[in-house]
Amino acid sequence: MKTNPHHLFSPWTAAFVVVFVAILAACSPQTAPVEARTITGAGSTFAAPLMKKWAEEYSRRRPEVRIDYQAVGSGEGEKRFLTGEVDFAGTDAGIKSDVLDEASRGAIQIPITAGIIVLAYNPDGLPTDLKLPRDLYADLFLGKPLKWDDARIQTANPGAKLPSANIAVVVRQDSSGTTFAFSNHLAAINSTWRGRFGNRQPKSADDLGVKVLDWPGAVLPAPGNDGVAGLIKRTPYSIGYVQYGAARDVGLEMAWLQNKAGTFVQPTGTSGLETLLNVKLPPNRLGYFPDPEGEFSYPIVTFTWMLIRGGYRDDAQFQVVKDFARWCLASGQDYSEAAGNTRLAPQVIRDGEKALRSLERPAPSSQ
């Protein structure tokens, strides 16, 4: 049986369709004026490549919003956030709760990404896939002069041809969350380091846990993760601690590091995620794991936290900052590996989303 096309719509139905379409057109976001917004952030150079990608992708999704993130180091980012100069900050160290509470209108911090810190070295004259025992690199950063053919390196790399050349050490010169995480790792694995330097956690609002060390011995300082990677690239027989993506992008070799279980682990996104799966965050989400458990865990993994205030200059700004953070926790994780970071574990994402919901303002009372 064929259907008569003239009987598909009654006059009443047609009228309803016209009204419905008119309502949709009136409600369409394309017809409403859109106010341009700039969200400012500052901090971690460790997370800077991913932040740049997030800014591009989020603005593609919301063309009216521009994300301006300055990679000035975690310490400087924390300072700018606490003084209200920026809307959010990225830090690889985090801020203790009592310090964070002093931020205007309160604030939260949530892990927004994670990454691994590698010991990258200049490839000229040295073998690939070099394995470094933990006692050796602890001695190295304690300022002890060592050569590449040190017996401990030779034992860990049987058959490798190692030059009798001094190891040049490259470090960060600016206030750095990468230094914070790396020095906490050294303190966890070496009692001499722990006795001399302790850890770098902040104690008060005036002590932001300045992540600058007076490194012992002869070192070559450089600003930012990109600066460290570039200096290693230019300096024969050098080694330094740096974010994985920064080392990868300039073609540096990265050492396999010995973990707590005694296993030499290659730095990869997979080994970083293996570490995160063994981690449980405390209620304030400020968790460190300087010497993680797990046979195949990579030994130096850190979160980058996003600092977000409980309120901003107007409600629209407040909502946009929160929406950007939600997007980073969800769709933004898809860009982690390409930027040299590690995707967050599901339980960490859920906890971050819960923290963002806690910033929701209660509905006005009807009384």
The domain locations on the chain are: 36-115+303-357, 116-277+287-299
CB within 8 Å of 26: residues ≥ 6 apart: none
Quick check: 246 and 229 in contact, CB under 8 A? yes
One-letter amino acid of 333: Q
pLDDT tens-digit readout, 124-175: 999 999 999 999 999 999 999 999 999 999 999 999 999 999 999 999 998 7
* DSSP state for residue 362 in the 8-state scheme: P
Q: Two tokens at 231? A: 């200096």
By the 10 Å C-beta count (0-12 exposed, 13-18 middle, 19+ buried), 17 is classed as exposed
The C-alpha atoms of residue 367 and residue 362 are separated, in whole angstroms, by 14
Quick check: 290 and 296 in contact, CB under 8 A? no
125-129, 184-188, 269-273: range with lowest mean pLDDT: 269-273
**Per-residue pLDDT, 104:** 61
| pTM, entire model | 0.77
pLDDT tens-digit readout, 187-211: 999 999 888 886 554 443 333 343 6
CB within 8 Å of 48: residues ≥ 6 apart: 69, 71, 90, 224, 225
Q: Mean pLDDT across the chain, nearest whole number?
A: 84
Q: Is 178 helix (H, G, I), strand (E, B) or coil?
A: helix
CATH code for the structural domain at 116-277+287-299: 3.40.190.10
**Per-residue pLDDT, 21:** 31
Fold for 36-115+303-357, please state it.
Answer: D-Maltodextrin-Binding Protein; domain 2 (3.40.190)
**Which run of H or of E encompasses 304?**
strand 301-309
8, pLDDT greater than 80 = no
- pLDDT band at 20; cut points 50, 70, 90: very low
49, pLDDT greater than 60 = yes
Mean pLDDT over 312-317 rounds to: 87
25, pLDDT greater than 50 = no
Between 241 and 97, name the one with better pLDDT.
Answer: 241
**Per-residue pLDDT, 211:** 63
32, pLDDT greater than 90 = no
pLDDT tens-digit readout, 79-112: 999 999 999 999 988 888 878 877 766 789 999 9
- 71, 96, 121, 107: which is closest to 237 by C-alpha? 121
The C-alpha atoms of residue 46 and residue 94 are separated, in whole angstroms, by 13
In DSSP terms, 39 is beta-bridged to 67
**Which run of H or of E encompasses 118?**
strand 107-121
Domain 36-115+303-357 and domain 116-277+287-299, same fold? Reply is: yes
pLDDT tens-digit readout, 283-310: 778 888 889 988 999 999 999 999 999 8
**Per-residue pLDDT, 271:** 85
**Per-residue pLDDT, 208:** 37
30, pLDDT greater than 90 = no
- 65, 103, 35: which is closest to 322 by C-alpha? 65
CA 96 to chain CA centroid, Å, is 17
